[in-house]
């Protein structure tokens, strides 16, 4: 039966790997790398990050080789490690976007050196025109946050979105508005 044959081969490779056999590690690497790299590239949409994620998984395999259980599926172990690594990378990217968006939002609010003054009637008209160009949901969220002074949790509750999604919408909109303003200057 093929499954048991594959399992026997994996068990043998794990046993050799536990003994520090670099040839066994290379065999595992050469066998699984292409499919794991393709999966990571699909999930991350970034070739370099995908390669790094897969390499990290194989480094984990080597560092944990002594504690591996030969009765478990090697492919499942590696796949689980890769999925967790991908999720951690996606989470880190998302958090970086949120932090970056908050910085842009603060820069937009604190920017005193722009020639565009929203305190004037003309400035308010231009701001309204730029806001109108945003997608409707983002525009409403920006208006609630900046003009009505609502907090992220309050907005999230009103529009039935997560707090992180609201933060992301405000950050994206602030970035977009800042870019528009800078292009006008």
> What is the overall mean pLDDT for the chain?
79
Q: What is the pLDDT averaged over residues 151-177?
A: 86
- The position carrying tokens 């560092």 is 63
Residue 57's pLDDT is what? 94
Q: Residue 7: its pLDDT value, please?
A: 77
pLDDT on residue 132 = 79
pLDDT given at position 83: 92
Architecture of domain 2-92: Orthogonal Bundle (1.10)
Q: Express as a percent the part of the chain with pLDDT over 70.
A: 76
Please, which residues have CB within 8 angstroms of residue 29's CB and are 6 or more apart in sequence?
58
116: left (phi over 0), alpha (psi -120 to 50) or beta: beta
Q: Across residues 140-149, what is the average pLDDT?
A: 82
| 55-60 contacts, C-beta under 8 A, 24 or more apart | 56/85, 57/81, 57/82, 57/85, 58/25, 58/28, 58/29, 58/33
Q: Which backbone phi and psi does 114 adopt, to 5 degrees?
A: -80, 145
pLDDT score recorded for residue 108 = 53
How confident is the model over 78-100, as pLDDT tens digits? Answer: 999 999 998 888 887 776 666 65
- Please check the confidence at residue 40 and state whether its pLDDT lies above 60: yes
DSSP state of 66: G
* Distance, CA of 117 to CA of 41 (rounded, Å): 45
The answer, yes or no, to whether residue 65 has pLDDT greater than 80, is: yes
Residue position matching structure tokens 């790094």: 52
Predicted pLDDT at 39:
92
Reported as type and span, the H/E element at residue 167 is helix 163-184
Give 109-134 pLDDT, tens digit per residue: 554 444 444 444 555 566 677 777 78
**pLDDT > 90 in the chain, percent:** 28
139 has pLDDT over 50: yes
Separation CA 17–CA 168 (nearest Å): 45
Residue ranges per structural domain of the chain: 2-92, 111-184
Q: With 70 as the cut, is the pLDDT of residue 152 above it?
A: yes
Closest CA to 146 of 113, 174, 111: 174
Please give the pLDDT value at position 109. 53
CB 41 within 8 A of CB 47: yes
Predicted TM-score (pTM) of this structure: 0.51
State the CATH architecture for 111-184: Orthogonal Bundle (1.10)
Give 123's Cβ-side CA count (13 Å radius): 9
């Amino acid at each position: 039966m093929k499954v048991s044959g594959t399992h026997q081969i994996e068990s043998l490779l794990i046993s050799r790997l536990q003994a520090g056999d670099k040839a066994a590690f290379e065999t595992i690497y050469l066998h699984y790398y292409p499919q794991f790299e393709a999966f990571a590239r699909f999930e991350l949409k970034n070739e370099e990050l995908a390669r790094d994620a897969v390499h990290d998984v194989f480094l984990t395999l080597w560092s944990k080789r002594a504690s591996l259980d030969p009765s478990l599926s090697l492919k499942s172990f590696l796949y689980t490690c890769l999925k967790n690594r991908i999720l951690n990378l996606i989470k880190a990217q998302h958090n970086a976007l949120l932090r970056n968006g908050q910085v842009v939002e603060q820069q937009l609010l604190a920017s005193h050196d722009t020639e565009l003054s929203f305190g004037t009637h003309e400035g308010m008209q231009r701001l309204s025109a730029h806001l109108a160009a945003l997608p409707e949901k983002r525009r409403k969220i920006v208006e609630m946050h900046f003009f009505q002074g609502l907090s992220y949790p309050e907005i999230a509750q009103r529009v039935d979105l997560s707090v992180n999604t609201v933060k992301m919408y405000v950050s994206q909109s602030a970035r977009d508005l800042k870019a528009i303003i800078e292009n006008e200057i």
